[in-house]
Structure 1
Amino acid sequence: MLKIPLAGDMGSLHMTTIPELPYHPPPAEHLTENFTTSQKTILNLLNTKCSDSLENLKQAHALILKTGHFQDHYVAGSLVKCYANPQFGSLSTSLRVLEQVSQPNVFIWNCIIKGCLDLKEPFQAISMYYKMVISDSRPNKYTYPPLFKACTAEQSTEEGIQIHSHVVKRGLNADAHIISAAIQMYASLGRLKEAQHLFDSIGKSDVICCNAMIDGYMKSGDVKAAEELFQSMKEKSVGSWNTMFSGLCNNEMIEEAKNYFDEMPDKDEVSWSAMIDGYNKHGYSKEALEVFYQMQRDDIKPTKFVLSSALSACANVGALDPGKWIHAYIRRNKIMIDAVLGASLVDMYAKCGRLDLSWNVFERIK
């Protein structure tokens, strides 16, 4: 069995075990002549054919072993990333693949850290970081933003501060994406003083960091400070607008949020989703449906989350016909009904008095 460190102080890590895999050998000599071409083919296969098919992924994995490409770090990292896809949830397989790579590089470590986070295993993501450090692999600017999110999810201020100190020691503290992620982490953990200090150190020129600070103000309930910063921004991204009205929704200022939403020069899927969900969470189901109808009139393709929120709104007001239309839309566009979307359909039909249709959906997704 292989021992993996799990988290906390690097000198006294907890340990867990995972099953061993047979050793994957390095590329055979007779395969190295066309290695570059074959590598590109395999990477293309992983990136285009394996994101929604576990069967394809397993076949690609077998091909990688057969052709001797497993010890290529970019191939192995892409394989780790594919198995960690939330649609498959194969984190244990990703970990087993990682353990069989000889001296994994930063790309592979970053893939497994982000995979842990995507699969809602933030504790494991932090653990993998410490294992990475112990292995003498040097983290880069892509390593830390997911780790700050993991610390936020774990509500671990101590780990966040320690990992942030590593950023400073490695000279990566000037990167805007890292600073933005650190600001968001500190603000989410209630450490607004540290978030403000980081923000003040870079000024208001970076849109990403401004958005992070606005989000921090909103989460701490300081709506006035968030609005002042937003109004002072010379350039505003779609993310800036989304952060503002999402924060207002979370602070139960729905009317003000809708005003910002209506003023937005451009909207993306997140904008529509946030406004529908904001209305829904605070009991404004009819208004949520109105936003959904507006989305359809503007020919914006809804995500699964938007569809789920719209179905919840239908359930709350007993709107059977719109709910059936959404169900037909899902079938027409061949959208896979996962657990969340399926539960929304079951709930909508049940609350609209159609237990027969509710049962039919339940039977198909169970």
Structure 2
Amino acid sequence: MAPCLCTLTPLPSPSTSISKFILDQPCLSIIQTKCSTIKDLQIIHAQIIKTGLIKDTIAASRLLAFAATSPAADINYALMLFDQIQNPNLFIWNTIIRGFSRSSNPRMAVSLFIDMLIQLSVEPERRTYPSVFKAYAELGLARDGAQLHGRILKLGLQFDVYIRNSIVHMYANCGCFGEALELFRDGEDMDVVAWNSMILSLAKFGKVENARDLFDNMPQRSSVSWNNMISGYVRTGNWVEALSFFSIMQAEKIKPNEFTLVSLLNASAHLAALNQGEWIHDYIKKNRIELNVIMVTAIINMYCKCGSIEKAWQVFESASTKGLSCWNSMIMGLAIHGRENEAIELFSRLESSEFKPDDVSFISVLMACSHSRLVKKAKYYFSLMTKKYNIKPSIKHYGCIIDVLGRAGLLREAEMVIKSMPMKPDAVIWGSLLSSCRSYGDIKMGEWASRNLLDLGVDESCGHVLLSNVYAGEGDFEMAIQERMLMKEKGIEKNPGCSLIEVNGEVHEFLAGGRLHPQVQEIRLLLENLTLKVRDINFHNHDF
């Protein structure tokens, strides 16, 4: 609801200060109490212009503070307000710089800071600098930020806790860990914010073990410290470690935040750890955590990747807030679970919804077509994507259409698509074509695909193994053996297959031919017993 319009109160008596009179204006109090959107602010702004109050610095700064730093901030509107203020004071400069440092255009924060220095009407002070360092951190400009660090040293402000934290964050976020650690170690009383900045940045750059060392040595931890470690493990693909660390976190009675829960759902999805994923979903429901679009997407994705497509569907249909990512995850989930018709039907529903399909939507529906060899449908969606939605096909879209053609045995057509691609085909495309050549016995095209795959140098074993399978499939065992021998001569080893299984909430990993599992003897004994039982059953059936 828009705030009501207000009028100026009578002029103050001589005993009332002008500043108190301005602060008591209803228009200004409404900004803090009833203003919740930029539209509300515009109404108040118009009224303040009518009354002439806009010329006052206090009134202008209240408007600017809401436009630049509130949850409903509109930084472009804030800049327009700033440009209309004559002789902005220090608070106004700090507000607009802080607003841009948090925005999608942090470069403007640096530009405004330079303007502030050039104009010399107002001198920056300690509250100005953290926002500028944050902007340098977001821009990845540690070298430029180092010059500002030099200014801080000259001014003697290096011991200010907020400035020091922002400098540590800038260096760490830009990957300059030498400078960050030097400053970090020089500070005898570095607070938890600085420690958290280091942990988050180390994890961001894949140095998760270094992040864990810092975490273990923290004199004091906050919930952010724990959450940063989990997100670091997930970001670097250490999903088992992420779930194990979460168990420790639970034992310490530390509550996860929304971002951590999303990270844990993603870890459960990658490990196909359904029990763990269900527990996290139940935790979200029991604690009445708001199901925003990101959270709903993570839950759907987890259930899909853990094989529980029905639960994913229930979450999708019952979600009050659905984003495009929710639709895409559900379509993809249906496609990979062999429910292609439902995936295509859901895509049609998406087209009729408030959302427009994006490039991910089309990858999902093309995958559905691929799994059921719906060539005409795939061609239709590929054309729809480019002509109706003006989406430029990526290498993944080409990969899907080539896979559809290959699975349907249309190898010549797949070859034509590959040759017409505006970008160089990747290993996925050549591997897909090679698999199709094996299925349909096209040795000549298989050799062509294998050569191109080997030229990429991504995974040499893949090209040799697939081509060997093509030869073997056509009965040319001499050539099949030759490919295997060629691998041996080059010293190329086939990457072992890997599988994961969750038992009683614990995820177990198995490598083909691996013997490192702690219960490998028991597993082998059980398999031998099962083999004997199968042989016994076959013998009795044959005897009958």
- TM-score band (shorter)? 0.7 to 0.9
Q: Deviations over 1:48-67 (max 9, x none)?
A: 3333x232111111122233
2:75 is matched with 91
Shift of 1:29: 11
In the alignment, structure 2 segments of 5+ residues that lack a partner are: 1-7, 335-342, 359-544
1:361 maps to 2:345: no
1:269 maps to 2:257: yes
Shift of 1:31: 6.7
Match of 1:102 among 60, 66, 86: 86
1:116 is matched with 100
Name the CA distance, whole Å, in 2 between partners of 1:308 and 1:49: 33
Match of 2:238 among 253, 258, 278: 253
Residue 225 to residue 90, structure 1, CA distance change in 2 (3 Å): closer
8 Å contact from structure 2 (residues 261, 280) kept in 1: no
8 Å contact from structure 2 (residues 227, 260) kept in 1: no
Match of 1:320 among 307, 313, 316: 313
Q: Deviations over 1:52-88 (max 9, x none)?
A: x232111111122233332444432332233346976
8 Å contact from structure 2 (residues 281, 299) kept in 1: yes
Residue 149 to residue 363, structure 1, CA distance change in 2 (3 Å): same
- State TM-score, norm by structure 1: 0.76
Q: Deviations over 1:316-348 (max 9, x none)?
A: 6652111122x23x3xxxxxxxxxx63224324
Q: Deviations over 1:134-174 (max 9, x none)?
A: 23323333323332232122222232112222333333321
Name the CA distance, whole Å, in 2 between partners of 1:281 and 1:69: 57
> What is the DSSP-based 3-state SS (H/G/I as helix, E as strand, rest coil) of the residue aligned with 1:212?
helix
2:216 is matched with 231
Shift of 1:195: 0.1
Residue 355 to residue 58, structure 1, CA distance change in 2 (3 Å): same
Match of 1:155 among 123, 134, 140: 140
Alignment of 1:320-339 (within 5 A): 320-325=313-318, 327-328=319-320, 330=321
Alignment of 1:207-246 (within 5 A): 207-246=192-231
Shift of 1:110: 2.1
Match of 2:50 among 63, 66, 79: 66
2:173 is matched with 188
Alignment of 1:14-53 (within 5 A): 30=11, 36=20, 38-40=22-24, 41-51=26-36, 53=37
> What is the DSSP-based 3-state SS (H/G/I as helix, E as strand, rest coil) of the residue aligned with 1:362?
coil
1:130 maps to 2:119: no
> What is the DSSP-based 3-state SS (H/G/I as helix, E as strand, rest coil) of the residue aligned with 1:245?
helix
Q: Deviations over 1:219-249 (max 9, x none)?
A: 3433333222211223211111112222222
1:310 maps to 2:302: no
8 Å contact from structure 1 (residues 248, 256) kept in 2: yes
Name the CA distance, whole Å, in 2 between partners of 1:344 and 1:142: 39
Moved more, 164-173 or 228-237: 164-173
> What is the DSSP-based 3-state SS (H/G/I as helix, E as strand, rest coil) of the residue aligned with 2:353?
helix
Residue 110 to residue 35, structure 1, CA distance change in 2 (3 Å): closer
Shift of 1:132: 1.8
1:82 is matched with 66
Alignment of 1:168-179 (within 5 A): 168-179=153-164
Alignment length, in residue pairs? 327
8 Å contact from structure 1 (residues 177, 208) kept in 2: no
Name the CA distance, whole Å, in 2 between partners of 1:92 and 1:218: 33
Q: Deviations over 1:69-109 (max 9, x none)?
A: 32444432332233346976743332221122122122212
Shift of 1:38: 4.6
8 Å contact from structure 2 (residues 301, 330) kept in 1: no
Shift of 1:189: 1.4
Equivalent residue letter for 2:94: N
> What is the DSSP-based 3-state SS (H/G/I as helix, E as strand, rest coil) of the residue aligned with 1:70?
helix
Shift of 1:201: 0.9
Indicate the structure whose relative CO is greater, using CA pairs within 8 Å and at least 6 residues apart.
1
8 Å contact from structure 1 (residues 74, 108) kept in 2: no
Residue 110 to residue 198, structure 1, CA distance change in 2 (3 Å): same
Measured on the aligned residues, the alpha-carbon RMSD in Å equals 3.4
Name the CA distance, whole Å, in 2 between partners of 1:171 and 1:238: 32
8 Å contact from structure 1 (residues 215, 243) kept in 2: yes
8 Å contact from structure 2 (residues 107, 139) kept in 1: yes
Larger radius of gyration: 2
8 Å contact from structure 1 (residues 276, 309) kept in 2: no
In the alignment, structure 1 segments of 5+ residues that lack a partner are: 1-26, 331-340
Residue 350 to residue 256, structure 1, CA distance change in 2 (3 Å): closer
Name the CA distance, whole Å, in 2 between partners of 1:280 and 1:178: 39
Name the CA distance, whole Å, in 2 between partners of 1:116 and 1:185: 16
Name the CA distance, whole Å, in 1 between partners of 2:98 and 2:265: 26
Shift of 1:304: 4.6
8 Å contact from structure 1 (residues 76, 101) kept in 2: yes
2:267 is matched with 279
Equivalent residue letter for 1:347: N
Name the CA distance, whole Å, in 1 between partners of 2:108 and 2:190: 35
> What is the DSSP-based 3-state SS (H/G/I as helix, E as strand, rest coil) of the residue aligned with 2:267?
helix
Shift of 1:283: 7.4
> What is the DSSP-based 3-state SS (H/G/I as helix, E as strand, rest coil) of the residue aligned with 2:53?
coil
Q: Deviations over 1:9-36 (max 9, x none)?
A: xxxxxxxxxxxxxxxxxx9994796752
